[in-house]
Amino acid sequence: MTVQQFGAGASSDRARHWHDIDWARCHREVRRLQARIVKAQQAGKYGRLKALQWLLTHSFSGKALAVKRVTENRGKRTPGVDGITWSTPKSKLEAVLSLKRRGYQPRPLRRIFIPKANGKQRPLGIPCMVDRAQQALHLLALEPVAETTADPNSYGFRSVRSTADAIEQCFRALARSDCAQWILEADIRSCFDEISHDWLVANIPTDKAILQKWLKAGYLHNRVLHSTQAGTPQGGIVSPALMNMTLDGLERALHAQFGRRGRNPTKVHIVRYADDFIVTGATREVLADEVQPMVEQFLAERGLSLSPEKTRITHIDDGFDFLGMNVRKYGGKLLIKPARTSVQRFLRKLRDIVKNNATARQDWLIRKLNPLIQGWANYHRHVVSKRIFSNISHAIWQCLWRWARRRHPRKNARWIRAKYFRVVGSNHWVFGIETSRTPGTGEPKLLTLYDIASTPIRRHRKIRAAANPFDPQWESYFEEHLGLAMMDSLKGRKRLIRLWLSQERTCPVCHQMITKSSGWRLTHLERVIDGGTDASRNLLMLHPDCHGIARGRRFSVVKPAPATGL
């Protein structure tokens, strides 16, 4: 089987099977329309913009990508109030063909509650699959507009942006000695639940009738139907974009009032991640008497308000917590570290896992802990974390040592150490176990706990504020930016880097770039059970979504019959 066979698919509008859809063509058609939407928005041609959005939301390619998204994300097995999920190729293709505007009526959301870090509960609305697909379809047409009109320093729920970009912007706004000394920590009260429906319908450039139906769909809780008079439900695919567009314009309003960069003597700057944001200022009076009233007026027009209990003005020498980081100056030098509450919450979660698995196998416990430890380390590895990583490593060792001692109360420390800990290089206390032997060499494979203290600290490469992933003018910039991030994530794994580069950094199934955020999976061109090897020439790097599509096509590809010589 060849790479071309993995990427081959029927013409997208004539597909008879889910795995026959030409995903590369779908992406190409949607990206072309999205680029035209950006151009129309920049030129102020709103009639053309509306026509292009209509074309996208009525195209087979847009509908196919919308269904693909909702059937391959984390919530694909969670049904709405109708109890339906699309889990088979046949049901997915039928869903694509059934997505129509005429006669569409969204069903109420299924309301559940998830715990928050402060002990309270956050309401979450789960739409039905057809409503998720409709939202994903209209988001394809809305997102290019949202990116074009977004505030430059808004980083939450946006393509290619992350919390690391927001934290790096905090550093740039506060690090120098002539930067602002005061910070307004703003907290919007129940942002998702209180956005004005009238404002959304009047200002969001999307299908007004469909948007009105989503907003008024209501939700079911304990078999009781509740109406929705305000807000956009957390859990809906389109909700983050609606929330972002509601808050967009605040940065432009502040700059219009106070100026920007060199023409800003009040040093007013804003950094926003979703509904969490900070505003810097030269003095407390500027923030309290001018900035905060202006922010409150801006929010009031949209049905929102600040929380008096959580909104405060802080001096940089006292520091503040933002997105799990503590930002503070020590003797005039700005240091950004993991927040104490974040460290305590992480250790509490880790200790609970260890305590609740007192009788679990060591290899199972390691596999349970490694994603948690490595994920937390990767989130905080762009700030001043080395000492905290070392302290956490010691706390983890203490926790695991107590776990091992409790399992063998009659054994001495030497015996326990020999059973549960290994020597790796110069480290004599590596929590690990031999799981299997390598084929051919017979050498044992050692499964070890991730060493958080060994995580390298690297400065984050911040994205440019004006970069728009839907604008063709920025295409080369994003290829370079995402490529560098991918190379950084594959550092030390030369074989994967060569494989990624040999595929021209794209997935053979959908022809979209494989990035750090998209993730990847390896698949064999010739299966191991059929005699295939793990050599690079027999491997492909695919998106996790495309891996399942490739497996489906593997058995539908008809190989040519061998020649008979007649």
Whether 439 shows a pLDDT value over 60: the answer reads no
- Give residue 559's pLDDT: 33
Whether 59 shows a pLDDT value over 90: the answer reads yes
Domain 472-553 class, CATH top level: alpha beta
The residue count of the chain comes to: 566
Q: With the CA atoms of 451, 454, 457 and 460 taken in that order, what torsion angle do they form, in degrees rounded to the nearest 10?
A: -50
Burial code (b: 16+ CB inside 10 Å, e: under 16) for 191-222 equals bbbbbbbeebeeebbbbeebbeebbebbbbbe
Q: According to DSSP H, which parts of 150-291 are helical?
A: 163-174, 191-194, 197-203, 208-215, 239-247, 250-258, 284-285
Q: At what angle do helices 239-247 and 129-149 cross, to 10 degrees?
A: 30
- Give residue 73's pLDDT: 86
Which pLDDT band, with edges at 50, 70 and 90, does 243 fall under?
A: very high
- Give residue 444's pLDDT: 75
Instruction: Tell the burial category of 348 from Cβ atoms under 10 Å away from its Cβ (0-12, 13-18, 19+).
Output: exposed
Q: How does strand 539-542 pair with strand 444-448?
A: unpaired
Q: With the CA atoms of 320, 325, 326 and 328 taken in that order, what torsion angle do they form, in degrees rounded to the nearest 10?
A: -90
* Residue 306 contacts residue 299 (beta carbons within 8 Å): yes
Q: Which helix (H) or strand (E) holds 147?
A: helix 129-149
Which pLDDT band, with edges at 50, 70 and 90, does 464 fall under?
A: very high
Say what the pTM is. 0.88
**DSSP letter assigned to residue 286:** I
At residue 315, what is the residue type? H
- Give residue 555's pLDDT: 42
* Residue 91 contacts residue 166 (beta carbons within 8 Å): no
Name the phi and psi angles at 421, rounded to 5.
-120, 145
> Which of 39-43, 198-202, 528-532 shows the lowest per-residue confidence on average (mean pLDDT)?
528-532
Whether 562 shows a pLDDT value over 50: the answer reads no
The residues that bridge with 431 in the sheet, in sequence order, are: 421
Q: Tokens 């090897």, residue?
A: 533
| Residue 452 to residue 325: CA distance in whole angstroms | 17
Average pLDDT over residues 49-58: 97
Average pLDDT over residues 26-30: 95
| Residue 350 to residue 149: CA distance in whole angstroms | 41
Q: Summarize pLDDT for 105-160 with one digit per residue, the tens.
A: 999 999 888 887 767 788 888 999 999 999 999 999 999 999 999 999 999 999 89
Q: What is the maximal distance between C-alpha atoms in the chain?
A: 94
| Residue 71 to residue 87: CA distance in whole angstroms | 7
Q: With the CA atoms of 257, 243, 200 and 54 taken in that order, what torsion angle do they form, in degrees rounded to the nearest 10?
A: 110
Whether 286 shows a pLDDT value over 80: the answer reads yes
Cα distances (angstroms) measured from residue 228 to each of 73, 213, 233, 240: 26, 11, 9, 17
Q: Summarize pLDDT for 416-436 with one digit per residue, the tens.
A: 999 999 998 888 899 999 887
At residue 214, what is the residue type? W
Q: Which helix (H) or strand (E) holds 66?
A: helix 60-70
Q: How does strand 521-524 pair with strand 539-542?
A: antiparallel
Q: Summarize pLDDT for 61-95 with one digit per residue, the tens.
A: 999 999 999 998 888 888 999 999 999 999 999 99
Q: Which helix (H) or strand (E) holds 522?
A: strand 521-524
Which pLDDT band, with edges at 50, 70 and 90, does 11 fall under?
A: very low
- Reference 20, options 564, 565, 378, 553; nearest CA is 553
Q: Tokens 């984050």, residue?
A: 460
| Residue 541 to residue 498: CA distance in whole angstroms | 11
* Alpha carbon 51 to chain centroid, angstroms: 30
Q: Which helix (H) or strand (E) holds 510?
A: none
- Reference 518, options 554, 552, 494, 542; nearest CA is 542
Q: Summarize pLDDT for 321-354 with one digit per residue, the tens.
A: 999 999 999 999 999 999 999 999 999 999 999 9
Q: Summarize pLDDT for 392-420 with one digit per residue, the tens.
A: 999 999 999 999 999 999 999 999 999 99
Q: At what angle do helices 340-356 and 362-380 cross, to 10 degrees?
A: 170
| Residue 341 to residue 327: CA distance in whole angstroms | 13
Among 113-122, 231-240, 528-537, the range with the most confident prediction by mean pLDDT is 231-240
**Cβ atoms within 10 Å, residue 23:** 24
* Alpha carbon 32 to chain centroid, angstroms: 24
- Give residue 1's pLDDT: 46
Given CA atoms 240, 243, 249, 250 in this order, what sign does their dihedral have? negative
- Give residue 235's pLDDT: 79
- Give residue 150's pLDDT: 96
Share the mean pLDDT of the chain. Answer: 89
Structural domain spans, the chain: 23-245, 340-454, 472-553
Q: Summarize pLDDT for 351-372 with one digit per residue, the tens.
A: 999 999 999 999 999 999 999 9
**DSSP letter assigned to residue 290:** I
Whether 560 shows a pLDDT value over 50: the answer reads no
Q: Summarize pLDDT for 288-316 with one digit per residue, the tens.
A: 999 999 999 999 999 999 998 889 999 99
Average pLDDT over residues 262-284: 92
Q: What order do you get walking across the sheet with 109-115 strand by strand?
A: 121-126, 109-115, 219-221, 224-226
- Give residue 35's pLDDT: 96
Q: Summarize pLDDT for 179-188 with one digit per residue, the tens.
A: 999 999 998 9
Which pLDDT band, with edges at 50, 70 and 90, does 14 fall under?
A: low
Which pLDDT band, with edges at 50, 70 and 90, does 216 fall under?
A: very high
| Residue 229 to residue 195: CA distance in whole angstroms | 9
Burial code (b: 16+ CB inside 10 Å, e: under 16) for 35-63 equals bbbbbbbeeeeeeebbebbeebbebbbbb
Whether 261 shows a pLDDT value over 80: the answer reads no
Which pLDDT band, with edges at 50, 70 and 90, does 264 fall under?
A: confident
